[in-house]
Structure formats: structure tokens, C-alpha cells
């Protein structure tokens, strides 16, 4: 069996029982254990001086190969082009996009350097699976180094509509680089459509669309033939349900229940990020208390949001804005024994989160844009089948393509979200159960093993890369930026 090589910006820290984080890390680590293989990426260290050295650790059938980044590389590749240009643009926030040519050069340079570090560790029959927007040029860099292996790519975040992507100055170089992969996976059909639209209308390429469920579409662009499809990432719903049930009697849940008295709980968990729609969400909770006075003192909203990328201005801004909003709303409505919004910055163990999800009457997941959103899937998985809560879900989360038992909202419609919260809080048991059962069946059918196996099946079935005649056409008719 050929080895699997996973490449991602960060290699998930692994403890005895497997990775601590959800979704991707768990699913990918499982696959690595089955086939044997390697996980390669940045260690998370930023070096002020010296020369980064690759560290290779064997743990059973899995090899972890990690390397630090020099400060300048971190600034340009990670903080700069990945998180100040690509992240906002791909989440439809062209207003927050910052672009700097030197950062883009750094992004390309670090991708090439990382690829060179990986090359000596590769064998001829390895299958390489690269993850996410930090590493769009990675296959191009491996190809330049002579690597002939099959290389797949999965984009965890949305692929934006062409008119938004055009706001990124080197959009064409990016999509050309993307076309060096053999198979590209997106979270949802709309992301795939956006990519195909760019290929046809901006890159002068061709798309042979496969019918739904018929495998990947064939793309011819920039002189290459490759394939692309949607592979919605999942979770392991039954494991989460077990964790949630076990944690139900644990201390954090008992404390939470004591704090709530008999009140209902609305709950959200996100990295603190402007794409997650937290400000709008806080305001919709305020609107509920405004418009439905009977809910005052009857419901609390728990928002868990650990800060990330705290060295970027846009992240400092959103943090300040949220602290202001939660203080203002609590100041307006709080009573001596009732705090409407509990806003917490901590990380929690998965088992604690799962148990808290089970306690919450409403899972309130309203990103402005999200590739998938695993929290929505984790919330549903954690519910008590006899007395499940209700998911309120943004139509702009990839998860909304699958979870049609949720109350689907538009996260900029504050009144609409407040109404959905009121509906969720008073939904009869029979309706909650019917919605829960439908969503749980979907989550079981498309769990994270299915996601990974479908991607790997299609990658292995992809004909090995060859040049196509389209090259000359595209290059000759090169579009202007
Ligand atoms: P994220 O933007 O990080 O992921 P999400 O899919 O919600 O968003 O995954 C976050 C994970 O971190 C979840 O498993 C959640 O339980 C966990 N988590 C969040 N806050 C936590 C806390 N305080 N303590 C402990 N755990 C916490 C990106 C894309 C998503 C896509 C995923 C996977 O932006 O759209 O769903 O990758 O492809």
C-alpha cells in the first residue's frame, strides 16, 4: 500500500490518544495510522535567528516531520499573505483585504522552501495530500523540484466568487498554481461552481462537469488537466454523542447548570474571527430580549471564543468590538442573579465542549461565511436523542448545504435571527426530535472517514499529470489583472 503524506500549515499536536483538535486532525490522523505515512508542516515555532532544522519523529506507523519558520517568513507567508490577504478575500471581506507584494513573494518563497524540505523524505509511490489556503503553490513547487507523485489539495475555507477573487492582485498566479494539483477538493458544490466559473470565464479554460454524485469534474486550464469535486468534511457523530453523554455528569456541566438555575441556554463556540458573525449574533440576541420581554431572565447566551491571530489588527478590532457589545448588552439587561451573555475566551477539552453542547437548548452558529463549520455538526451530534436542542444555522456556512433540519438564517438579518431564536426556544419536542433525527442520519452517512476515503479514492484514480494542449491557448490569451 502506498504511503499517505499529509501536508498542512500546522501539524496538529498529538497526545497519547490522538489529536486534541476536531474534524480534520482526527480524520486525517486515522488515515495515517491505517496506511502508514507522514504528516509534514510548520512546528508553530518562530525563530529570531539561526537556521530552521527539520525534526522527524516516528510514532508507530506515523512519522511527524515539522520545521520552524524564520520571523520574516512567518510575517510574510503566514501573517501577511495567508491571513491578511487570502483569509479575508476568501471569506468575502474584500474590505478587510490588505495586499503587499513582498508578502506575496514571501508566500511563494516559503512554499518553495517547504517543498524542498519535503522532497528528500518522499518515495516514488507516496500519495501527497495538501491542506488549505496557506499552501496553494505547494504542488507547483514540488513539480518544479521534479516530483511526479499524485498530489491532491483540499480547501477548508470557501472558494470565492470570481468578482471577489479578482480583488486579490495575483489571483491568476494563484489559480494557475492551484491547477498544478491532480485533484482539488472543495467543501461544497457552490465553492466548486465558483472555481469552475473562474476557470471558464477568467482563465479561458474548460470544465467537463460531472453530474452530481458522478465523481469529479475534469478541468483543463493553464496547460494541465486535473479534476475537482466537493467533499464536505464531517465529524464522528457517535463518538461525540458518547463524549457528550459521559461529560453530562462532569463538573463543568454541573457548574453551568447551577449558574443557569432553570433558564435555557443558547450556545456558540468559534475561534474569535470576523468571519464568524459574532457582532451580528450578539445584536440578534439583544433583539430577542428587546422584542420578547418574556424571554428576559429566562435564557442566557454562552459564547466561547478563544482569540486567534492576535497579532493582526483586524483581530484586535473584532475583539474590542465584541467586548464593547457584550458589556453594553449585559449593562442594559442584567439583573443581580442573571447575566444575559457569558462571554469566555478559553479553550476547552473536546469532552467538556460536547457536554456543554448537550446542555444547550439552542446551538447558535451564524458565521458570515464559513467553509463548513464543524461546530454546527458537533452541536447536533452531542444532543440527547430524547430531548434534543435546536440548531440555528447561517445559510453561509457550508454545513447549511447538508443540515436542512436547522433553522436557517441570514446572519445580517438581525430581526430574522431574533425570530429564529424565539422559534427555537419554544419548539415542541416532536419537531425537535424529527429535525435532530434527519440531521443525525446525514452526519452518520457522511462522517469524516467517508470524507477522507472519497477524496483518497478519487485522488488515487486520477490519471498521473500530463501536459494538455490548452497551455498554449491560455498563455497566448493571457488575461490582464
Ligand atoms: P475553523 O474556522 O477553525 O476551521 P470550525 O469548522 O468550526 O472552524 O472548527 C473549529 C474546531 O475547533 C471545532 O472542532 C471546535 O469544536 C474547536 N473549537 C473551537 N473553539 C474551541 C474552544 N474554545 N475550545 C476547544 N475547541 C474549540 C476551518 C474552516 C471551517 C471548516 C474547518 C474544517 O474555517 O469552515 O469547517 O476548517 O474543514
The predicted model gives 445-467 an average pLDDT of: 87
Question: What pLDDT, on a 0 to 100 scale, did the predictor assign at position 18?
Answer: 57
Q: Is the CB of 367 under 6 A from ligand 1?
A: no
95 pLDDT tier (thresholds 50, 70, 90): very high
Nearest to 32 by CA among 131, 144, 135, 115: 131
Is 90 exceeded by the pLDDT of residue 31? Answer: no
Q: What is the CATH number of domain 238-445?
A: 3.40.50.2000
Question: What pLDDT, on a 0 to 100 scale, did the predictor assign at position 144?
Answer: 96
Q: Which CATH superfamily is domain 4-234+449-460 in?
A: Glycogen Phosphorylase B; (3.40.50.2000)
Is 80 exceeded by the pLDDT of residue 155? Answer: yes
Return the best residue to mutate from 374, 375, 381, 446 for the ligand 1 pocket (most ligand atoms within 8 A of CB).
Answer: 374
Span from the CA of 23 to the centroid of ligand 1 (angstroms): 8
The three three-digit cell numbers of residue 153, written as one number: 489539495
Span from the CA of 262 to the centroid of ligand 1 (angstroms): 29
Domain ranges of the chain: 4-234+449-460, 238-445
Q: Using CB atoms within 10 A of its CB, is residue 372 exposed (0-12), middle (13-18) or buried (19+)? A: buried
Question: What pLDDT, on a 0 to 100 scale, did the predictor assign at position 178?
Answer: 98
Q: Is the CB of 370 under 6 A from ligand 1?
A: yes
The predicted model gives 267-291 an average pLDDT of: 97
Q: Is the CB of 353 under 6 A from ligand 1?
A: yes
The predicted model gives 69-82 an average pLDDT of: 97
The predicted model gives 46-64 an average pLDDT of: 94
Is 90 exceeded by the pLDDT of residue 25? Answer: no
Q: Is the CB of 188 under 6 A from ligand 1?
A: no
480 pLDDT tier (thresholds 50, 70, 90): very low
Chain mean pLDDT for the chain: 92
Q: Is the CB of 304 under 6 A from ligand 1?
A: yes
Q: Which residues are catalytic?
A: 156, 370
Question: What pLDDT, on a 0 to 100 scale, did the predictor assign at position 20?
Answer: 56
248 pLDDT tier (thresholds 50, 70, 90): confident
Region of 213 (left: φ > 0; alpha: ψ -120 to 50; beta: rest) is left
The predicted model gives 117-137 an average pLDDT of: 96
402 pLDDT tier (thresholds 50, 70, 90): very high
User: Which tens digit of pLDDT belongs to each residue from 359-400?
Assistant: 999 999 999 999 999 999 999 999 999 999 999 999 999 999
Question: In CATH terms, are 4-234+449-460 and 238-445 the same topology?
Answer: yes
Amino acid at each position: 500500500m502506498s504511503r499517505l503524506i499529509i501536508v498542512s500549515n500546522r501539524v496538529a499536536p498529538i497526545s497519547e490518544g490522538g489529536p486534541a483538535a476536531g474534524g480534520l486532525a482526527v480524520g486525517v490522523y486515522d488515515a495515517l495510522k491505517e496506511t502508514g505515512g507522514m504528516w509534514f508542516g510548520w512546528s508553530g515555532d518562530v525563530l529570531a535567528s539561526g537556521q530552521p532544522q527539520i525534526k522527524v519523529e516516528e510514532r508507530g506507523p506515523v512519522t511527524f516531520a515539522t520545521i520552524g519558520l524564520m520571523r520574516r517568513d512567518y510575517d510574510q507567508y503566514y501573517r501577511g499573505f495567508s491571513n491578511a490577504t487570502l483569509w479575508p478575500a476568501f471569506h468575502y471581506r474584500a474590505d478587510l483585504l490588505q495586499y503587499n507584494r513582498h508578502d506575496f513573494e514571501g508566500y511563494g518563497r516559503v512554499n518553495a522552501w517547504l517543498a524542498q524540505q519535503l522532497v528528500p523524505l518522499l518515495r516514488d509511490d507516496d500519495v501527497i495530500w495538501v491542506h488549505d489556503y496557506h499552501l496553494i503553490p505547494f504542488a507547483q513547487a514540488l513539480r518544479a523540484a521534479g516530483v511526479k507523485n499524485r498530489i491532491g489539495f483540499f480547501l477548508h475555507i470557501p472558494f470565492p466568487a470570481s468578482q471577489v477573487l479578482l480583488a486579490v492582485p495575483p489571483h491568476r498566479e494563484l489559480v494557475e498554481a492551484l491547477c498544478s494539483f491532480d485533484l482539488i477538493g472543495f467543501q461544497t458544490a457552490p465553492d466548486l461552481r465558483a472555481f469552475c466559473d473562474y476557470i471558464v470565464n477568467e482563465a479561458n479554460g474548460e470544465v467537463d462537469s460531472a453530474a452530481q454524485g458522478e465523481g469529479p469534474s475534469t478541468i483543463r486550464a493553464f496547460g494541465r488537466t486535473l479534476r475537482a469535486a466537493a467533499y464536505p468534511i464531517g465529524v464522528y457523530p457517535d463518538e461525540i454523542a458518547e463524549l457528550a453523554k459521559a461529560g453530562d455528569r462532569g463538573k463543568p456541566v454541573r457548574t453551568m447548570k447551577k449558574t443557569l438555575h432553570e433558564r435555557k441556554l443558547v450556545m456558540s463556540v468559534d475561534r474569535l474571527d470576523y468571519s464568524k458573525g459574532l457582532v451580528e449574533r450578539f445584536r440578534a440576541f439583544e433583539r430577542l430580549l428587546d422584542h420578547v420581554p418574556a424571554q428576559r431572565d429566562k435564557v442566557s447566551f454562552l459564547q466561547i471564543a478563544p482569540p486567534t491571530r492576535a497579532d493582526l489588527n483586524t483581530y484586535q478590532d473584532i475583539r474590542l468590538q465584541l467586548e464593547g457589545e457584550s458589556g453594553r448588552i449585559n449593562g442594559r439587561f442584567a439583573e443581580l442573579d442573571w447575566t444575559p451573555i457569558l462571554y469566555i475566551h478559553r479553550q476547552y477539552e473536546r469532552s467538556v465542549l460536547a457536554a456543554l453542547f448537550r446542555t444547550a437548548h439552542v446551538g447558535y452558529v451564524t458565521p458570515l461565511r464559513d467553509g463548513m463549520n464543524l461546530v454546527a455538526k458537533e452541536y447536533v451530534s452531542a444532543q440527547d436523542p430524547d430531548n434534543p436542542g435546536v440548531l440555528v444555522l447561517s445559510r453561509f456556512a457550508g454545513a447549511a448545504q447538508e443540515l436542512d433540519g436547522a433553522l436557517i438564517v441570514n446572519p445580517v438579518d438581525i430581526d430574522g435571527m431574533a425570530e429564529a431564536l424565539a422559534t427555537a426556544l419554544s419548539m415542541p419536542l416532536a419537531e425537535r426530535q424529527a429535525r435532530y433525527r434527519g440531521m443525525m442520519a446525514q452526519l452518520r452517512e457522511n462522517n469524516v472517514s467517508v470524507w477522507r476515503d472519497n477524496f483518497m479514492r478519487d485522488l488515487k484514480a486520477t490519471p498521473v499529470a500530463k501536459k494538455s494542449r490548452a497551455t498554449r491557448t491560455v498563455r497566448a490569451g493571457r488575461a490582464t489583472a
